[in-house]
Amino acid sequence: MIELHGAAAARPPLVVLKFGSSVLRDRACLPEVVSEIYRIVRTGRRVIAVTSAFAGVTDALMRESLATGCAHDNVNAPAYIATGEEVSAALVAMACDRSGLCSIALKAPELGIRADGDPQDATPTALEAAILNAALDAHDVVVVPGFVATDASGRTVLLGRGGSDLTAVFLAHALGAERVRLVKDVDGVYDRDPAEAKGALRFEQIDWRGAGEVAGRLLQTRALDFAAARGVVVEVGEIGSDEATIIADKAKPPAFRARPPKLRVALAGYGVVGAGVAQRLLARPDAFELASVLVRDGEKSREGALPRALFTTDRDAFLDADADVVVDVLSDARAGAGLSAEALRRGVDVVSANKQALIGSHDVLTQLAATHGARLLHSAAVGGGAPLLEAVAAARGGAPIAMIEGVLNGTVNFILERLAMGQTFEEALRAAQAAGLAEADPSADLSGADALAKLRLISIAAFGVASCDVCVEPLTQHIAAHAGRERLKQVARIVREADALRGGIVFERAEGSAFADLHGDRNGVRIVTADGRVHTARGRGAGRWPTTESVFADLVDLRSARLSAAEEGMKVAV
Ligand code: NDP
Ligand code: HSE
């Protein structure tokens, strides 16, 4: 969660994402949906995620309700049918938590979504906006079951088949959202169904009526009518891309759009993070191709379903795998730095979570990236799944930064909390290792070296320089004994004083701290800018899924940027 506080703080922009049953096919699709939400949240936006029921569920519920009640006007059927959307909303909210997104699922009655008319085909008319805004203020994402509302008597009603589209457009209009995006399994509106017709042409822009005429099966026409009547611009796009058809008041002729090539990924490291990244890449064979996986031990038995032939211990063979991007999730700083440098030298993009490699060779790597026109992304290296570097960049974009403080090590935060609960140091450390939070050698966490590397990367993002005096307190037995008596937090801080930077990583009492409520593996930062504004960001700071989320978001952004560049290139060529 990224937030801005203070007198000048306005609510961050709101994006409404609607996930239909073409993307919410079953529970296996939940990680994809979470990633789409995550990549919007990390840009500092609030998200409402409107869900459809999983594929086939609404039909099954309708059949059951017809068999059970009076077929022609069963007033209680909508409440039963609505459970399809309510279940998927609850599951999306739970899946968000795994990646560190602060989420809540709220049902139509809780949000006061009112609708009038036919109970199976009602039209939304009102909403308790204050309730939804309060939920958005407290969470990264509010998940709302689509298709459902209540009538004046409090009875559940439905918004017609495909009514989740109408819920999304209605909420976007009621709350003045920046964007409303209907997320489908196609990248926009085509003149014919592209799954059935070869050579179907895609609209970059189409008007509301035209969209209803060509895509009545893809979009709910009542939602389009609602949008047209209120001037709501609607996007239709697929997961993992910023490309979309814009549905508004004007149309452009459709054009042929070649399916974009897959991003070939060479993955260095197959441990806690690497195996998570591989799993996510394999789930998107349409968008990504795993070219090679570099490991240290060729004999180790490996989790997951990767073909053995993909693994190599040969660095040169790995680099020759003709990848578009190298992902560095190695636990070895020297090996990671060398690999990233060689990839960048070859013009190959790099996504890295290897903070020690990054900080040890920062200038060389950024210089190589600039010289060879490659990109170096490293969101996961600081804060795991918590968008801390993104918050620093956003704050710096507004005004010079005066001070940053944060909890930057999930393992230490986790251990301190367990100590306060009465566990021994050894028990707490073992639990952090079992949860995949600690480094391969946990001494980097305990000595403060891990937090220091992150503080230095933050310093570069905030002030343009890594070097400053930082006094680092390690987590010793003495501190651990203290933490058993009183709740402590490890706080990393960097302050600009005149022309100098001063930093420290120290243990402070949790009580009264800005980070008192940051539990377990959570990380967070508080950034104060020279104009007095306070920016905050938090999330899960370590572990397989939060870190994978952040690496995956960098990969999706790289792919999306390549697609946009290719589109632009095609326009210039035309
Ligand atoms: P693991 O120890 O679980 O996995 C490390 C992987 O790197 C293993 O697959 C290992 O191979 C491979 N490896 C290590 N050295 C070499 C080498 N010299 N050549 C080839 N392969 C090598 O680490 P994590 O997945 O936990 O962390 C990976 C990186 O991500 C680290 O840099 C860490 O700091 C960073 N990170 C980790 C987070 C976390 O929560 N775990 C969060 C944010 C960042 P093999 O399997 O054969 O041993
Ligand atoms: N070991 C690190 C931590 C992993 O516990 O914070 C995330 O960088």
The enclosing domain of 91 has a CATH number of: 3.40.1160.10
**Rounded distance between C-alpha atoms, residue 270 and residue 329, angstroms:** 8
**Rounded distance between C-alpha atoms, residue 104 and residue 431, angstroms:** 27
CB of 320 within 6 A of ligand 1: the answer is no
The SS3 assignment for 324 reads coil
CB of 541 within 6 A of ligand 2: the answer is yes
Is residue 570 included in any domain, yes or no?
no
Same domain, 132 and 154: yes
CB of 521 within 6 A of ligand 2: the answer is no
The pLDDT assigned to 574 comes to 40
Answer with the one of 379, 414, 443 that is the final residue of a domain: 379
Same domain, 349 and 398: no
Residues of the chain with pLDDT under 50: 7, 572-574
CB of 329 within 6 A of ligand 2: the answer is no
Same domain, 130 and 35: yes
The pLDDT assigned to 430 comes to 95
The enclosing domain of 504 has a CATH number of: 3.30.360.10
Is residue 409 included in any domain, yes or no?
yes
The pLDDT assigned to 68 comes to 81
Cβ partners under 8 Å of residue 207, min gap 6: 228, 247, 248, 249, 250, 251
Ligand 1 pocket mutation pick from 98, 270, 272 by most atoms within 8 angstroms of CB: 272
The pLDDT assigned to 58 comes to 94
Answer with the one of 362, 379, 396 that is the final residue of a domain: 379
Same domain, 37 and 80: yes
Answer with the one of 379, 405, 436 that is the final residue of a domain: 379
**Rounded distance between C-alpha atoms, residue 59 and residue 81, angstroms:** 9
Is residue 558 included in any domain, yes or no?
no
Cα of 412 to ligand 1 centre, how many Å?
Answer: 19
For residues 170 and 232, the answer to whether their CB atoms sit within 8 Å is no
**Rounded distance between C-alpha atoms, residue 526 and residue 391, angstroms:** 9
CB of 297 within 6 A of ligand 1: the answer is yes
pLDDT, tens digit, for every residue of 500-557?
899 999 999 999 999 999 999 999 999 999 999 999 999 999 999 999 999 999 999 9
CB of 330 within 6 A of ligand 1: the answer is yes
CB of 450 within 6 A of ligand 2: the answer is yes
CB of 438 within 6 A of ligand 2: the answer is yes
The pLDDT assigned to 70 comes to 66
Closest atom, ligand 1, to C-alpha of 436: 41
Range of the structural domain that residue 484 is part of:
388-542
Is residue 209 included in any domain, yes or no?
no
Give the end-to-end CA distance of the chain in Å, rounded to a whole number: 42
Same domain, 44 and 152: yes
Is residue 213 included in any domain, yes or no?
no
Domains in the chain: how many in total? Answer: 3
CB of 444 within 6 A of ligand 2: the answer is no
Same domain, 317 and 357: yes
Half-sphere exposure of 502 (CA within 13 A, CB side): 4
The enclosing domain of 355 has a CATH number of: 3.40.50.720
Same domain, 38 and 149: yes
Cα–Cα–Cα angle for 192, 196, 198, rounded to 5 degrees: 75
Closest atom, ligand 2, to C-alpha of 523: 6
Closest atom, ligand 2, to C-alpha of 414: 5
Is residue 370 included in any domain, yes or no?
yes
The pLDDT assigned to 469 comes to 83
The pTM of this model reads 0.94
CA-closest residue to ligand 2 atom 1? 438
Rg, Å, the chain Cα set: 25
The pLDDT assigned to 7 comes to 47
Ligand 1 pocket mutation pick from 302, 319, 331 by most atoms within 8 angstroms of CB: 331
Same domain, 362 and 464: no
Cα of 316 to ligand 1 centre, how many Å?
Answer: 19
Helices (H), 295-354: 315-319, 333-345
CA-closest residue to ligand 2 atom 7? 542
Same domain, 74 and 17: yes
Same domain, 308 and 357: yes
Is residue 216 included in any domain, yes or no?
no
Closest CA to 28 of 54, 56, 65, 60: 54
The pLDDT assigned to 257 comes to 83
Same domain, 414 and 360: no
Residue 69, judged by CB atoms within 10 A of its CB (0-12, 13-18, 19+), counts as middle
Closest atom, ligand 2, to C-alpha of 442: 1
Is residue 425 included in any domain, yes or no?
yes
Same domain, 446 and 531: yes
